[in-house]
A and B are shown apart, each in its own frame.
Chain A
Amino acid sequence: MSEFDHDHGESGRNHSPGLSRRRVLECMTWAGTGVLWTISGGVPRSLGLVDSAMAAAPAGLSFLQISDSHVGFDKPANPNALGTLEEAIARINAMPARPSFMIHTGDITHLSKAAEFDNAERIISQAKLDVHYVPGEHDFLDEDVKLYRERYGRGAKGAGWYSFDANGVHFIGLVNVVDLKAGGLGNLGAEQLAWLEDDLKGRSRSTPIVVFAHIPLWTVYPEWGWGTEDGARALEYVKGFGSVTVLNGHIHQVMQKVEGNVTFHTARSTAFPQPAPGTAPSPGPMKVADDKLRGLLGVASINFKPGDQRLAIIDTPLQG
């Protein structure tokens, strides 16, 4: 499927050849618009980019992941992050097969300003879908650290973690962006880990598990802080389950790997791309030519075959 715009770049180092063999989770296309997930036979499968998924009619549960909308960001890498979020939502609305709900894996806003949260809500709500949020570090920047909690954290535990069930799948939203330690990575903390252990207690091991959090729960690139200090502890609790899917954001690019029953995946941003690990002096926003931006966000470069209604799951070639 080389015609699809898969830009895995450096992520190849983290790829497991097991992915193509096991076909546990197969991705077809990726973009800033979001990744459509469908649960079929208890195994979450990525149907790929919204546009590609448009022609598909997933059976059972399907949901959408969007991430890193950074509403308020106006720097050269994308002077109009709200606009590209709007484009993403428009594409979601154009889908003939409605997903059941959406998850947003954090960095809704750029600076946690009330107006940014308001704008994000105004745009995202146009999808008319339930949205399950977890916060990114950019959502806790207001002086009193209350705006995110007021809007999205009601009923959640601690800094905003929670779980819910949908169509027999157990979803767990974790927070790994608070109380970060100098020199360290993302952080879940003892209280959240204890809650997680308890949340999973007594659940049938055949229950498919979807864990989502902002910063990758696996170590992608510690030099840039792309990982979670105590993420391995959380993974210990879930790895006994038959099917585990870990969905993250934060790094503004697609990376995927499979470890045993656990599939890890990071989504692109709807706002701006970030460089592949180690390919730039810093993980800061990557400025690309204007006509390339939407290609990297995927909004306008989604590649699907018109007329092909059987956009079933297609293996992604793992590069590198």
Chain B
Amino acid sequence: MIPFTLRVHGKLAMAAAILLCLGAHAFAEDTEVTIDNFTFSPAELTVKVGTTVTWKNHDDIPHTVVSAGKFRSKTLDTDDGYSFTFTAAGAYKYFCSLHPHMTGMIKVE
């Protein structure tokens, strides 16, 4: 009885640990950059390796998110989003290829 209970508890604990881990994992990667008034916000963001960043365009004008040689979104119309998962550390400068004065940076540690 005791071993069985332990086993069950062990499994539950493990499952809980996995869920907790997944939850924490998902939370850590759920990072957003908004585009409002032709501005990336935050303009600079520091994240951990493995983080997924989602850009959301709230403007009435389409924008793009382009980091030369690294990633390139399709055209984002109003309320469209684009996600990229950063798997390597580094400083990723990016801009809007339609409005190049719009720039931002993701620092991946």
Q: Nearest B residue to A283 by beta-carbon distance?
A: B38
A75 CB contacts on chain B under 8 angstroms: 60, 78
Q: Nearest A residue to B98 by beta-carbon distance?
A: A137
Other-chain contact of B37, A138, A141, A180, A284 (Cβ < 8 Å)? A284
B99 on interface, CB distance cutoff 8 Å: yes
A282 CB contacts on chain B under 8 angstroms: 37-39, 59
B38 A284 Cβ-Cβ under 8 A = yes
* Closest Cβ–Cβ distance, residue A275 to chain B (whole Å): 11
B98 CB contacts on chain A under 8 angstroms: 137-138, 141, 180
B50 on interface, CB distance cutoff 8 Å: no
B75 A285 Cβ-Cβ under 8 A = no
- Alpha-carbon separation in the docked complex, A225 to B98 (Å): 10
* Closest Cβ–Cβ distance, residue B61 to chain A (whole Å): 5
B37 A281 Cβ-Cβ under 8 A = yes
Q: Mark A183-227, 1 if CB is under 8 A from B, else 0.
A: 111000000000000000000000000000000000000111100
Q: Nearest A residue to B77 by beta-carbon distance?
A: A111
* Closest Cβ–Cβ distance, residue A66 to chain B (whole Å): 20
Interface size on A, residues (CB 8 A): 25
A225 B60 Cβ-Cβ under 8 A = no
A183 B39 Cβ-Cβ under 8 A = no
B61 A284 Cβ-Cβ under 8 A = yes
* Closest Cβ–Cβ distance, residue B44 to chain A (whole Å): 14
B100 A143 Cβ-Cβ under 8 A = no
B-facing residues in A44-58 (Cβ within 8 Å): none
A185 B100 Cβ-Cβ under 8 A = yes
A77 on interface, CB distance cutoff 8 Å: yes
B37 CB contacts on chain A under 8 angstroms: 281-282, 284
A285 B101 Cβ-Cβ under 8 A = no
B77 A225 Cβ-Cβ under 8 A = no
A17 on interface, CB distance cutoff 8 Å: no
A185 B74 Cβ-Cβ under 8 A = no
B94 CB contacts on chain A under 8 angstroms: 182
A141 CB contacts on chain B under 8 angstroms: 62, 75, 98
Q: Mark B60-73, 1 if CB is under 8 A from A, else 0.
A: 11100010100000
- Alpha-carbon separation in the docked complex, A141 to B97 (Å): 10
Q: Nearest B residue to A180 by beta-carbon distance?
A: B100
A224 B77 Cβ-Cβ under 8 A = no
B97 CB contacts on chain A under 8 angstroms: 180
A76 on interface, CB distance cutoff 8 Å: yes
B95 on interface, CB distance cutoff 8 Å: yes
Given contacts A112-B75, A285-B60, 20 further A-B pairs with CB under 8 A are A75-B60, A75-B78, A110-B62, A138-B62, A138-B98, A141-B98, A180-B100, A181-B100, A182-B94, A182-B95, A182-B100, A183-B95, A183-B100, A184-B101, A222-B101, A225-B101, A281-B37, A282-B37, A282-B59, A284-B59
Could you list 30 A-B pairs, sorted by A, with CB under 8 Å?
A75-B78, A110-B62, A111-B75, A111-B77, A137-B98, A137-B99, A141-B62, A180-B97, A180-B98, A180-B100, A181-B100, A182-B68, A182-B103, A183-B100, A184-B100, A185-B101, A223-B101, A224-B101, A225-B99, A225-B101, A281-B37, A282-B37, A282-B38, A282-B39, A282-B59, A283-B38, A284-B37, A284-B59, A284-B61, A285-B60
